[in-house]
Chain A
Amino acid sequence: AQSVTQPDIHITVSEGASLELRCNYSYGATPYLFWYVQSPGQGLQLLLKYFSGDTLVQGIKGFEAEFKRSQSSFNLRKPSVHWSDAAEYFCAVGSLTGNNRKLIWGLGTSLAVNP
């Protein structure tokens, strides 16, 4: 079955601390992986994506993620968190084969940042 697991429902970090949000997936085909961020009242914004090539991908706002095929993981990291990073973070997996373009989403991780 196709699924995305984000093990941490809620994470709290202090401003300036490092951050790692976990994402594990189960997918039958070659996975294309995404991290989106959703702030209150805002639409989903793409942080970064992995299609192929270098398994360490850089995104916007200082985020990066590493694709590890052997662990079926695509964890999101940031070296120093800012208060404005408080939001809901979603990992998603999709395919580019055939007509299958649906994204399968995790339940999200809510990030709180302490001053």
Chain B
Amino acid sequence: GAGVSQTPSNKVTEKGKYVELRCDPISGHTALYWYRQSLGQGPEFLIYFQGTGAADDSGLPNDRFFAVRPEGSVSTLKIQRTERGDSAVYLCASSLSSYNEQFFGPGTRLTVL
């Protein structure tokens, strides 16, 4: 597939558990972004990678949230000690470079019970 893919599409977990959300960007795209979208809201920026490094992580809400992109391609968003307020759709986007428009994946719907 040519687009951004995200797995899983749905994740249900219990409060306090650890989750990992995966993003496969478009091949060749150097920039990768994570957002989350709550019901009835626009996306909210979390973190942006240029290559392997996090260029801007100012949107991560607290230290329970962490993201990596070790080889400059696939990225994993990690959430520790999940809380019910973490329930949202987590969106990943990529762009050819950080000067180009962002292409979004379908998202992972996270539900914390």
Chain A residues in the interface with B (C-beta under 8 A):
4, 34, 36, 41-46, 49, 90, 92, 96, 99-108
Contacts and interface: CB of A to CB of B under 8 A. Distances in A.
Given A43-B4, A44-B91, A107 B41 contact: yes
B99 A96 contact: yes
A101 B91 contact: no
6 contacts: A43-B3, A44-B43, A99-B50, A102-B56, A103-B35, A108-B42
Interface in B28-80: 31, 33, 35, 40-45, 48, 50, 55-56, 58-59
A99 B55 contact: yes
B56 A101 contact: yes
Contacts of B106: 41-43
Contacts of B42: 4, 90, 92, 105-108
Contacts of B35: 103
B102 interface: yes
Nearest to B54: A99
B101 A43 contact: no
Given A36-B104, A101-B33, A108-B40, 4 more contacts: A43-B105, A46-B101, A90-B43, A102-B56
Contact of A34 (B44, B55, B101): B101
Contact of B101 (A49, A100, A105, A106): A49
A101 B98 contact: yes
A101 B93 CA distance: 12
B102 to A, nearest CB: 7
Contacts of B45: 102-104
Nearest to B58: A102
B59 A102 contact: yes
B104 A103 contact: no
Given A43-B104, A43-B105, A99 B40 contact: no
Interface string B90-110: 010100001101111111000
Given A42-B106, A106-B42, A100 B56 contact: yes
